[in-house]
Structure 1
Amino acid sequence: MKKILAFSIALVIIMVILVPVAVVGLDLSGAKSERGASKKVKNEDVPIHVYLHEQDRIVTMSLEEYVKGVVAAEMPAEFDQEALKAQALAARTYAVKNMLVFGGSGLADKPGADVSTDHRVSQAWSDEVSLKTKWGPFKYEQYWKKISQAVEATSGEVITYNGEPINALFHSTSGEKTASSKEVWGFDYPYLQSVACKWDQGSPRYTETKQLALSDIEQRLGADAGVVAAAKSGDTSLVKILELTGSGRVDKVRIGSKTLTGIEMREKLELRSTNFTAELKGDKLIFKTIGYGHGVGLCQYGANGMAKEGRDYRQIITYYYTGVAIKNIFNS
């Protein structure tokens, strides 16, 4: 009985002390735990805590399974495998940067959650049920296998700058050039610079023409813009672009008697991007936009175009993110 008791105590000690070390001993060179100690990643099933915003609950899944759901939600499954791999790195990097176990801040308003499935807060994520609805039961198996292969082929890989995970921003279609983080949000990251992009011209969102009635515009911008009155007075320069950003997007624009930033104009009028022109025709303004999204970081359609020309995911990543390196958190 004493031997059994001694064995049991030893087993408890092993389970309490050694097993958590194997599971939680996660290291990304430079990443810190909540207490400031560095951690080493040994287990490829490291858990991530995901807030399902539509169900208002937190669930736990493996990091790699989470990445598969993000890639499926954020990038067309028809894309080339190398583009899907690039998206997997961006998705995984975002997750690692925010995970509590790696020293990330998680979700401030949802204690215990690392990320949210709400694309307005984190990055989009889809489960099996929604993907079967999106793709249909026949294509589900094909697409899920393709995405799983892309994620598994890059298992554990993240994008780093000076050894730290980057803010791996991405967007649909850049149009001619990507934007720098500084011109969009005012903060400058050395790896989020503007680069030329010629590979996304096949995107269905590359250009758009949108007509808006002046009355609608005035309602969106406010009566103090004087849009309708200016048009009635015969003002042919109802809209005037005052300044452009370094990547050629609208920085400041005057419409009627109001001056707005390009970002404000895009948000209020629901334009696809800040790369736009406007022309008055009768009682309408005709907006022509190039690109879709904020334009910073990885251009998804550009990544697919590069992949079709034979570039691999590493070349895609190091092109759109300036001066970065790719590191495997499971082999650190």
Structure 2
Amino acid sequence: MRRNWFFFLILLAIMIILFPWTVLRWVDQDIEIGEEFTIRVLLEDGTVETLGLEEYIIGVVAAEMPAEFAEEALKAQAVAARTYAAKRINENINSNYDVDTTTNTQVWLSAKEMRDKWNWLSYWRYYGKISRAVESTRNQVLIANGQYVDAFFHSSTGRKPTERSEDVWSSSRPYLQNIESGEENPNRFVKTTTLTPGELYKKLGIPDPPKAFSKNDFQILSETATGRVKAIKVLGKSYTGSQLRTLLDLSSTDMEIDLTPQEVKITTYGYGHGVGMSQYGANDLANKGYNHEEILQHYYPGTSILTLKRS
């Protein structure tokens, strides 16, 4: 009797170990079937790997959007990411790669990195969910006037509508306008950054900081239509809101500034540049019943979905 129990426990242990691994192998192999389009990816080690476009998009969605999000939000993210990738492929014919794996283009995770991120027992569930979202939108991209759109996205718009592209960067896009965020919780990302004069000067690369701030050290020069900081003067030097956000590692340009002689407190709302699709807004809209096409139309009005085909 004891021997039977011993063999049963051994068999159970083997099943626990091998079953998830078997599922992972099956999921990994399944997504590669029928792949048509490819993309050249510059990896961290400097090598360039050619991947199937849909396989690549799975890695981008896994990196850029929480896997717990609703499937329609994941689909919208897949289309936005694929649009960016297709545009890069079209523009980089004479380059030796199309995208890298960082925020310089789009963040991308390999299967191993996904397992490390989610833990290997949860990987099969999240990978399967994302691969379904990608497969159901296979080869779909966003276009406007016959051109791939700049399908920018960010984590959270926060308490304000999305930004027009010309208020953050120099170029205007008719489909990147001030749009209601769609977010149920406008205070999801609220962060206060506190800096002393010495810490601020160091971040801005300015030597010889004073012992105290003066009341004119921070002056907001202009705001966008939504009320985010567009231009600001700090310690006598002018910056765009985006420049200051990068230099001080702030979450957004929707900021409130509280200045005392000893420190400056900068409270930001939202996360990201605020242009295009809010990922948390997309998830909230999906939970309200929006499908991925409706989500994309909400954030990129005037665009349409095109299915890529081999010529």
Quickly name the TM-score band, shorter chain normalised.
0.7 to 0.9
1:177 partner SS? coil
Q: Residues of 1 paired with 2:238 and 2:87: CA distance?
A: 37
CA contact (8 A) 2:187 2:269 kept: no
CA contact (8 A) 2:197 2:212 kept: no
Q: Residues of 1 paired with 2:307 and 2:37: CA distance?
A: 16
Name which of 280, 302, 306 aligns with 2:285.
306
User: Shift of residue 138 of structure 1?
Assistant: 1.1
Q: 1:95 aligned to 2:88?
A: no
In percent, how many aligned pairs have the same letter? 38
Structure 1 75/200 Cα, relative in aligned 2: closer, same or farther at 3 Å? Answer: farther
- What is the aligned partner in structure 1 of residue 236 from structure 2? 257
Q: C-alpha deviations, 1:22-75, integer Å up to 9, x for none?
A: xxxxxxxxxxxxxxxxxxxxx962232322331211111211111111111110
Please provide the CA RMSD for this pair: 2.2
Q: Residues of 2 paired with 1:155 and 1:145: CA distance?
A: 15
- What is the aligned partner in structure 2 of residue 201 from structure 1? 185
TM-score by length of 2: 0.83
Structure 1 stretches lacking a partner, 5+ long: 1-42
1:133 partner SS? helix
- What is the aligned partner in structure 1 of residue 168 from structure 2? 184
Structure 1 117/228 Cα, relative in aligned 2: closer, same or farther at 3 Å? Answer: same
Give the letter for the 1:311 counterpart.
Answer: Y
Q: Residues of 2 paired with 1:107 and 1:284: CA distance?
A: 50
User: Shift of residue 222 of structure 1?
Assistant: 4.3
CA contact (8 A) 2:156 2:278 kept: yes
User: Shift of residue 168 of structure 1?
Assistant: 1.2
- What is the aligned partner in structure 2 of residue 292 from structure 1? 271
Structure 1 107/71 Cα, relative in aligned 2: closer, same or farther at 3 Å? Answer: farther
Q: C-alpha deviations, 1:79-131, integer Å up to 9, x for none?
A: 000100000000111111121xxxx12286xx3322222222x1011111110
- What is the aligned partner in structure 1 of residue 69 from structure 2? 79
CA contact (8 A) 1:51 1:114 kept: yes
Name which of 203, 210, 224 aligns with 1:228.
210
User: Shift of residue 202 of structure 1?
Assistant: 6.4
TM-score by length of 1: 0.78
Q: C-alpha deviations, 1:266-289, integer Å up to 9, x for none?
A: 111111111111112451111100
In the alignment of these two chains, the number of paired residues is 278
What does 1:106-255 correspond to in 2, within 5 Å?
106=92, 111-120=95-104, 122-175=105-158, 176-199=160-183, 201=185, 204=188, 206-223=189-206, 228=210, 231=213, 235-255=214-234
CA contact (8 A) 1:173 1:200 kept: no
